[in-house]
């Protein structure tokens, strides 16, 4: 009885092995990733996760994928990305502050000119037109 079970086990294992090999040959798969097989895995390290030649956009950050190391994300890549984002945010904050200051100055000048009086297209900005005297000065 034991011999019968052993022979049956060998036959079943051989049949399963043949079925797997025949199925792989039909699909064209090969162990090295030839056509029809599994695609190669993408590289684990990114050269430039953010574009160095221009400012970072929302799409750049949304599409960013950092490489995973043994203990999680690669710390050097995360540090580089955070340093870059921090520097660009600081530049943008400085530019926003500069523009807000310029706007406040322009509003103060406008308020000092006419206390709410708006200039029209025909009205000169800095006084009477060239060579122009008031009608009563002639």
How far apart CA 80 and CA 50 sit, in angstroms, is 9
77 exposure class (CB count in 10 Å sphere: 0-12, 13-18, 19+):
middle
List phi, psi (to 5°) of 33.
80, 30
Whether residue 137 is predicted with pLDDT greater than 50 in this model: the reply is no
Mean pLDDT value of segment 118-138: 51
Q: Are the beta carbons of 117 and 110 closer than 8 angstroms?
A: no
Tokens 């904050």 appear where?
A: 93
pLDDT at 138: 42
**22 pLDDT higher than 60:** yes
CA distance 44 to 40: 12
pLDDT reading at 101 higher than 90? yes
What SS3 state is found at 74?
Answer: coil
pLDDT-derived band at 35 (thresholds 50, 70, 90) equals low
Residues 15-54 as b or e (16 or more Cβ within 10 Å = b): eeeeeeeeeeeeeeeeeeeeeeeeeeeeeeeeeebbeeee
Q: Look at 3 and 47; give whichever has higher pLDDT.
A: 3
pLDDT in tens, 4-18: 999 999 999 999 998
Each residue's pLDDT tens digit, 48-73: 677 778 888 788 887 777 777 777 77
Specify the pTM: 0.41
Band of pLDDT at residue 43, cut at 50, 70 and 90? low
């Amino acid at each position: 009885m034991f011999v019968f079970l052993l022979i049956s086990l060998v036959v079943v294992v051989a049949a399963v092995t043949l079925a797997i090999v025949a199925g792989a040959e039909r699909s064209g798969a090969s162990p090295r990733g030839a056509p029809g097989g599994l695609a190669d895995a993408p590289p684990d390290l990114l050269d430039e996760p953010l574009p160095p030649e221009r400012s970072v956009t929302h799409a750049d950050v949304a599409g960013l994928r950092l490489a995973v190391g043994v203990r999680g994300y690669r710390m050097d890549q995360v540090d580089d990305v955070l340093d870059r984002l921090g520097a660009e945010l600081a530049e943008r904050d400085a530019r926003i502050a500069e523009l807000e200051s310029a706007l406040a100055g322009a509003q103060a000048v406008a308020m000092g000119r006419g206390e709410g009086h708006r200039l029209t297209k025909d009205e000169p900005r800095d006084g009477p037109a060239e060579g122009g005297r008031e009608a009563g000065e002639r």
